[in-house]
Amino acid sequence: MNEYNVGDLISDFLFENDLKTVFGVVSVHNIPILDAIAKRNLIKFIPARGEMGAGHMADGFARSSDKVGVVITSTGPGAANVVGSLVEARFAGTPLLHITGQTATENLDKNQGTVHDVPNQLEMMKSVSKNAYRISSSKNVLEVLEKALEEAMTPPTGPVSIEVPIDVQRTIINRQETFNKVVINDKNISVGDLNSLDLIEEEIRKSKRKILWIGNGGKKLTSEVEKFIDLGFAVITSTQGRGVIDENHEMCLGSFNAIPKVEKFYSSLDLMIVVGSRLRGHETKDMSLKLPDNLIQIDIDPNAENRTYPSKIFHLGDGKKVLENLYERLDDIKNIDENWIHEVKSLKKEIQKDYKEFLKNYGEFPEIIERNLPKNARWIRDVTISNSTWGNRLMPVQKWYQNIYPVGAAIGPGMSLGIGASLATEEKVKSIAMCGDGGFMLNVSELWTAVEINSNIIFMVMNDKGYGVIKHIQDSLYGGRKNFADLLVPNFRELADTCKMKYLVVKSSREFENILKKAFNLLGPVLLEIDINSIGELPRYFIPPPFTEK
């Protein structure tokens, strides 16, 4: 009973690196690790109903907590089941450690048909992760763990997988008494070429109408971006960069980055500086969005240069250090034109008014949610019509860690992302995960996980009994033939009763706020059904936005 094995070492390594919330599914090829976690009772293990859900939970927890997410799966089918969530974590740049079992070393790579053995599991993991490693013996366990965790945390961050054969997990070793905590040394992250900074400084000094575009790689640079507002910059973000500053700030246009009025506004700018953003096709109309000619890009990833848009200057360096350096150089130009402030503020109000009118029956929903969402609660969304039209834009967020959604644009992750994110909030803070009824069904078994751990979250299900986005596309491009887009969905009241979850329903936009308040006052997880067919049709998704110039 007192023998110390590799499973114990892995458990201790996680704890010593402050990775104290772990998600996964117990199975034959990971029992030594999970047994060690249970024996110590120092790490909270969340038993998901499936590996995909576990991976999304770890992802949501990481994004919500500024920690590394950890998911533990079994070999073969278990590892394959987590692939979808690793793909999403890779899209989102989430630092995530995936630990999976593997068949015994004497059977590895021989295609002998041992339990859960699949060909090339390591290559499968490499294809969807930032990197993947195999622990080949008990002698290199700590070395691989440290290397994998460091790589997951090193910008650009992402998921890293580790295979641990079952016989290695069981191997008896000497107890590891001390651990080196894995940290990313800020001193090793470069500010970049100073000559390049000289050129950027010159461009800023001669520009009057200037804007920062902040992406995922810059979303945590709150104080730096606020200082650049003092230098006369407006701010716009990618969807993932939201919350770098409070989106209610008059100089922040949020993620209204690709609508006609904003595109026209870009044409009047002297300068756009992009920090930590791919300017990805999903948010630039497949790179057809016209951005200012004078475009400067700052990124820590050398592969970002000219990847989607050509830049006048590409600066390779750490966004935080670069903005700090530039601000010190430019501290003397704090003379913002009041007319410029008024123009940005007026544009923002005009866009918000257009969006609210476009939403019709749902026009008050974003304001109502913002008014009732507790401070520091998380705003998690699945890919739904509601999210694509207003959840990603009109519903403001104040902090970067509140903004969680499937960056890869998949339906289904929202519920599990929400469960993971809710575990990173204060005990009494209830968050919202807005899901469509179609996506909700992809992970419906995780409702029982939410009940078991008493997740403090509202699952707000926008129920139109079908794949609404697909129907809109079919209307626009396929002659209105809505093949395979109508769904038989459960009675959500009965579903909630079955898993012993509290349930509420909204059938009129007028009653939304009162019922939402009730949901916030209930303890534990709540299933809040929004009956779209009673309230009225959702705004059309697959059409040009109605907020064109008049």
Model pLDDT for residues 63-78, shown as the tens digit of each residue: 999 899 999 999 989 9
Cβ neighbours, 10 Å, residue 161: 29
State residue 474's pLDDT score: 85
In this prediction the pTM is 0.94
Q: Which residue has the higher pLDDT, 175 or 547?
A: 175
State residue 110's pLDDT score: 73
Q: What is the mean predicted confidence (pLDDT) over 369-387?
A: 94
State residue 550's pLDDT score: 37
pLDDT band at 532 (very low <50, low <70, confident <90, very high): very high
Between CA 193 and CA 212 the distance in angstroms is: 20
Structure tokens at 120: 């090339």
Question: Does the pLDDT of residue 548 top 80, yes or no?
Answer: no
Q: What is the mean pLDDT of the chain?
A: 93
Name the burial class of residue 549, with classes exposed (0-12), middle (13-18) and buried (19+) by CB atoms within 10 angstroms of its CB.
exposed
Structure tokens at 318: 């750490």
Q: Phi and psi at residue 324, in whole multiples of 5°? A: -60, -45
Which candidate, 339, 271, 345, 283, places its Cα nearest to that of 308? 283
State residue 196's pLDDT score: 96
Between CA 436 and CA 172 the distance in angstroms is: 49
Peptide bond before residue 156 is cis, with ω within 30 degrees of 0: yes
Strands (E), 179-329: 210-214, 233-237, 271-275, 295-299, 313-316
Q: What domains appear along the chain, each with residue ranges and CATH number?
A: 6-176 (3.40.50.970), 190-336 (3.40.50.1220), 350-535 (3.40.50.970)
Using a pLDDT cut of 90, give the percent of the chain over it: 82
Which candidate, 10, 2, 4, places its Cα nearest to that of 140? 10
State residue 541's pLDDT score: 66
Q: Which one-letter amino acid corresponds to residue 327?
A: Y
Residues 6+ apart with CB under 8 A from 213: 236, 237, 238, 241, 257, 272, 273, 274, 275, 277, 279
State residue 112's pLDDT score: 66
Question: Residues 200-256: pLDDT tens digits?
Answer: 999 999 999 999 999 999 999 999 999 999 999 999 999 999 999 999 999 999 999
Residues 6+ apart with CB under 8 A from 342: none
Which candidate, 84, 82, 66, places its Cα nearest to that of 74? 82
State residue 107's pLDDT score: 76
Q: What is the mean predicted confidence (pLDDT) over 143-147?
A: 97
Question: Residues 256-312: pLDDT tens digits?
Answer: 999 999 999 999 999 999 999 999 988 899 999 999 999 999 999 999 999 999 999
Question: Residues 24-38: pLDDT tens digits?
Answer: 999 988 999 999 999
Name the burial class of residue 408, with classes exposed (0-12), middle (13-18) and buried (19+) by CB atoms within 10 angstroms of its CB.
middle
Question: Does the pLDDT of residue 1 top 60, yes or no?
Answer: no
